[in-house]
Amino acid sequence: MRSPTYKLYETLGLTPGSDIDVVKKAWRAAARRLHPDRNPDNPNAKQLFSAASAAWTILSDPNKKSLYDEHGDLAVTMNFADGLKAYKRSPQRKRDRSRDYQSRRKPRRPPEDAEAFPGAWGGGPMSAEREPQKATGARANAPRPNAAPRAPQTPHQSTTASASASGRPRATPGGHRPMGTAMPKRGSDLKFDAVIPLKTAALGGPWVLDIERPERCSKCEGTGWRLAGRACTQCKGQGILLRRASVTIRVPADTQNNRVVTTRGEGAPGINGGEHGDLWTTVKVAPDPHFQRRGLDLWTDVIIPMDVAQHGGTVDVRNLHAVVTVTVPPNSRTGKVIRTKGAGIPGPRGRLPGDLHVRVVVDAA
């Protein structure tokens, strides 16, 4: 099996398995050395600082550090506990553990007084007397006395699992799973953040998210192995690869900040044919340069000429989805708020829409 790699320790300049105090000291030194403010001329400073921060975030967690020390970068790829739990139950993991056990197993040696009990350790007259004689010739084919004739067995009467032409075990009578085959395991859920504009958050709609996620290796079909017991050269025996993907999520209308949007089947791949996990996206609403949001109400500033402010009139104001005509009363001054009912954010699920609040700014020029 391929030995694990430890890129997080390499990022901090440490050897794998370093103590948490050593990791903390290395992180502080790296943060001072790689901070972008101290390296304004280095275009890669921000990337290096982010890599060191990510390494510290994982290695400072005792549970994640323990899993990472045991499995290396595979723990990060498999989303730590969730993915590794499924990997440990996979047939390949069981074969690896069995192979390691057989290689470490020592041959059983008989005791010094074994000659006194030859039958107990094989060989000797006692074992020879007990060993049944193998019938040969006509005697082997002769029927036993008083034995009932055995009916010929047809293929569908067999109670043992047999291999199909594709190499997959067939099910036994009664629909039971053959011994030695692993149950499918659902893939782990993935969590990402997304910053969306106010219009998408308020009105709802699709949003394309560019992420890097684990996907099943197409060359070995996620097993990590090829023919003759060799590790897959494409995924290096891991069974999965990190690849860039564009995922379209559906943002519901009236989405508030920090809302979690679930996209089914876009998470990590399953094991042994199991279904994919889900994608959990935490939505962050970006500040809008023109509007302020208060529930379903919108607030905005509008510059009007002096004559409209003095004598009154109408101005066209664009909200998030349409153009609204606002009536300005005479003798309006800067700071006056004009409310247009129902011109705010549309109400989801049958609710009434919000209002549009326009703050007047008089152009004195």
Query: Is residue 105's pLDDT more than 70?
Result: no
Write the CATH number for 346.
2.60.260.20
* Assigned domain for 325 exists: yes
Least confident of 72-81, 100-109, 147-156, 281-290: 147-156
Domain of residue 296: give its range.
Answer: 292-363
Tokens (6 digits) for 15? 């050897």
Residue of 344, 313, 309 lying closest to 327 (CA atoms): 313
Name the domain boundary from 77, 110, 137. 77
Confidence of residue 84 (pLDDT cuts 50, 70, 90): low
Residue 202 domain-assigned?
Answer: yes
CA 89 to each of CA 44, 94, 236, 239, 265: distance values in angstroms, whole numbers, following the listed order:
41, 7, 20, 14, 21
pLDDT at 48: 85
> Which of residues 48 and 162 earns the better pLDDT score?
48
pTM of the model: 0.48
In contact, 325 and 349? CB cutoff 8 Å: no
| Structure confidence by residue, pLDDT tens digits, 20-69 | 889 888 888 888 888 877 888 888 888 888 888 888 888 888 888 888 88
pLDDT digits (tens, 9 = 90+) for 86-102: 555 555 555 555 555 55
Cα 285 versus chain centre, distance:
24
Domain end position, chosen among 253, 285, 317: 285
Q: What is the mean pLDDT of residues 244-249?
A: 93
What does the DSSP assignment read for 195-259?
A: EE-HHHHHH-EEEEEEEEEEEE-TTTTTSSB-GGGPBPTTTTTSSEEEEEEEEEEEEPTTPPTTE
Residue 128 has pLDDT above 70, yes or no: no
Query: What is the end-to-end Cα distance of the chain in Å, rounded?
Result: 78
Do residues 301 and 353 both lie within one domain? yes
The band of 159, judged by pLDDT with boundaries at 50, 70 and 90, is very low
pLDDT score, position 149: 46
CA–CA gap between residue 56 and residue 11 (Å, rounded): 10
Residue 89 falls within a domain, yes or no?
no
Q: Flag whether pLDDT at 299 surpasses 90.
A: yes
Residue 73 structure tokens: 């970068």
Average pLDDT over residues 207-224: 85
Q: Is 333 exposed, middle or buried (0-12, 13-18, 19+ CB in 10 A)?
A: exposed
Identify which has the larger pLDDT, 160 or 283.
283
Residue 48 CB-density burial (10 A; 0-12 exposed, 13-18 middle, 19+ buried): middle
pLDDT at residue 169 greater than cutoff 70? no
Higher-confidence residue of 40 and 358: namely 358
Please give the Cα distance from 163 to 170 (Å, whole number): 6
Query: Is 60 exceeded by the pLDDT of residue 83?
Result: no
- Tell me: do 232 and 311 sit in the same domain: no
Q: Does residue 158 lie within any of the structural domains?
A: no
More confident residue, 332 or 160: 332
Q: What is the predicted pLDDT for the residue at 131? A: 44
Say if residue 210 is in the same domain as residue 264: yes
Are 232 and 298 in a shared domain? Answer: no
For residue 263, the model assigns a pLDDT of: 95
Query: What's the mean per-residue pLDDT of the chain?
Result: 75
Would you state the torsion angle of the CA atoms of residues 337, 342, 346, 347, taken in this order, to the nearest 10 degrees? 110
Residue 201 lies in a domain: yes
Last residue of a domain, one of 57, 77, 97: 77
CATH number where 61 lies: 1.10.287.110
Regarding whether 353 and 309 lie in a shared domain, the answer is: yes
**Amino acid, res. 314:** T
Residues 278 and 336 in one domain: no
Does residue 332 share a domain with residue 279?
Answer: no
Residue 21 located in a structural domain: yes
Counting the structural domains of the chain, the total is: 3
* Residue at 97 is within a domain: no
